[in-house]
């Protein structure tokens, strides 16, 4: 399923809404999650999962081609942990 198919499903469920409003609703939800993580916040959606930010420490990396050492700076990466309800549903419980 891709974004446009998700939007279509929501539009089918809600015939009283304009398609462009459904698009704005779906986009707002994903933007809000990304914006929260960009601020370093967590987003916890019980039953579905939680989005959080993990810190990766600075390290000495190596250029695999030349073998040269390079300093890799500390960075933050997005992380998702599946919620219990969804994990159970995936396993037919």
Partner 1 sequence: MGEKTLTRMDLSEAVFREVGLSRNESAELVETVLQHMSDALVSGEQVKISSFGTFSVRDKAARVGRNPKTGEEVPIQPRRVLTFRPSHLMKERVADGNRRS
> Does the protein bind partner 1 through residue 48 (CB under 8 A)?
yes
| Rounded Cα–Cα distance for residues 52 and 80 (Å) | 6
> Does the protein bind partner 1 through residue 41 (CB under 8 A)?
yes
> Does the protein bind partner 1 through residue 84 (CB under 8 A)?
no
Q: How many residues does the chain have?
A: 93
Question: Among 50, 49, 2, which Cα is nearest to 26's?
Answer: 2
Tell the smallest beta-carbon distance from residue 26 to partner 1 (Å).
6
Query: Among residues 28, 61, 62, 84, which is the contact residue for partner 1, using CB under 8 A?
Result: 28
Is 19 in contact with 11 (CB distance < 8 Å)? yes
Phi, psi of 73 (to 5 degrees): -75, 160
Nearer residue to partner 1 within complex by CB, 68 or 91: 91
Phi, psi of 48 (to 5 degrees): -100, -60
Residues of the shown chain interacting with partner 1 in the complex, contacts defined by CB under 8 A: 1-3, 6, 9-10, 13-14, 21, 24-26, 28-30, 32-34, 36-49, 53, 55, 74-78, 80, 82, 86-87, 89-91
């Amino acid at each position: 399923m891709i974004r446009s198919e998700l939007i279509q499903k929501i539009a089918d469920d809600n015939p009283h809404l304009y398609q462009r409003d459904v698009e704005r609703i779906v986009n707002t939800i994903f933007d809000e999650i990304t914006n929260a993580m960009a601020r370093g916040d967590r987003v916890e959606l019980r039953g579905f999962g939680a989005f959080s930010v993990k810190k990766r420490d600075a390290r000495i990396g190596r250029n695999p081609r030349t073998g040269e050492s390079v300093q890799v700076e500390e960075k933050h990466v997005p992380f998702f942990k599946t919620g219990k309800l969804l994990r159970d549903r995936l396993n037919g419980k």
